[in-house]
Amino acid sequence: MMAEKNNDMLQIKLAIADDHPLVINGLSHILANCADMTITGTYQDGEELLKGIAGKQPDVLLLDIQMPGQTGDELADIISEKYPLVKMLVLTNLDNVFYIKHMLKKGVHGYILKTARENILLDAIRTVYNGEQYLEPVLKEKLLQDTLHSKQQRSTDPVLSRREKEVLQFIASNLTSQQIADKLFISKRTVDNHRMSLLMKMDVKNVAALVKKAIQVGMID
């Protein structure tokens, strides 16, 4: 039975940004049962999200990384600058350490997977709402293992996959993500994922710095 909302209770205002209607519907159903939470808006792309929160600013934003148009990391930059009071909680299928570190650098307050149990989702929302950082336990372990591995394998140059090297070369040639996707016969989203991974592996914040460092270490001419 659905919990009755108490209008006198301080409620956490939530917004959901995800391009899958089934995910939004599932989250809405779960959150509707929480007396201390209320949904102010749901959005399926970046443009919708930015327009929506301009009018109804949430306390907590559940943000997917793989969004059509502007990706989650691009949106995180905008929201951090324009709406610093909004706590961003990443909800994604991407469990790669590079994505976790990248999004935390972008200013998100938490990171959980779409496979997380309901109690983890609710705990994460309440934790970031209270100004604390939240990482799903399995992701904390991944970060710990990655840190230990990095200390054991101190390498001067980052190790790139064959596809990442191809994407890097095209980026250096000033091709857009769509142009790279067309040349490699892959989706633009896949190119954006490789781009994000390259930024993390090379420990840089933008494409200009990425190309400069790649030239310095001899990865490109």
Q: CB neighbours (10 Å) of residue 163? A: 14
Q: What pLDDT is attached to residue 9?
A: 62
Q: Are residues 127 and 83 in the same domain?
A: yes
Q: What pLDDT is attached to residue 154?
A: 47
Looking at residue 123, which CATH number applies to its domain?
Answer: 3.40.50.2300
With respect to residue 156, please indicate whether it lies within any of the assigned structural domains. Answer: no
Q: What pLDDT is attached to residue 2?
A: 43
Average pLDDT over residues 125-144: 92
Task: Name the nearest CA neighbour of 199 among 182, 177, 178, 183.
Answer: 177
Our measurement of the distance from residue 213's CA atom to the centroid of its chain's CA atoms, rounded to an integer in Å, reads 24
Tokens of 167: 């994407």
Q: Are residues 170 and 141 in the same domain?
A: no
**Which range, of 110-114, 181-185, 211-215, averages the lowest pLDDT?**
211-215
What band does 3 get if pLDDT is binned at 50, 70 and 90? very low
Q: Of the candidates 114, 146, 178, which is a domain's last residue?
A: 146
Q: Which distant-in-sequence residues (6+ apart) come within 8 Å of 105 by Cβ? A: 205
pLDDT digits (tens, 9 = 90+) for 168-187: 999 999 999 999 999 999 99
pLDDT digits (tens, 9 = 90+) for 20-71: 999 999 999 999 989 999 999 999 999 999 999 999 999 999 999 988 888 9
**Which range, of 170-179, 187-196, 199-208, averages the lowest pLDDT?**
199-208
* Residue-averaged pLDDT of the chain: 88
Number of domains the chain contains = 2
Radius of gyration of the chain (CA): 19
Q: Look up the domain containing 77 and give its range.
A: 12-146
Looking at residue 170, which CATH number applies to its domain?
Answer: 1.10.10.10
Our measurement of the distance from residue 158's CA atom to the centroid of its chain's CA atoms, rounded to an integer in Å, reads 22
Q: Are residues 62 and 167 in the same domain?
A: no
Average pLDDT over residues 130-154: 79
193 in Cβ contact with 204 (< 8 Å) = no
Q: How many CA atoms lie within 13 A of 40 on its CB side?
A: 19
The H or E element spanning position 73 is helix 72-82
Assign 3-class secondary structure to 168-184.
HHHHHCCCCHHHHHHHH
Reply yes or no on whether the pLDDT at 7 is more than 80.
no
Reply yes or no on whether the pLDDT at 122 is more than 70.
yes
With respect to residue 200, please indicate whether it lies within any of the assigned structural domains. Answer: yes
Q: Are residues 177 and 138 in the same domain?
A: no
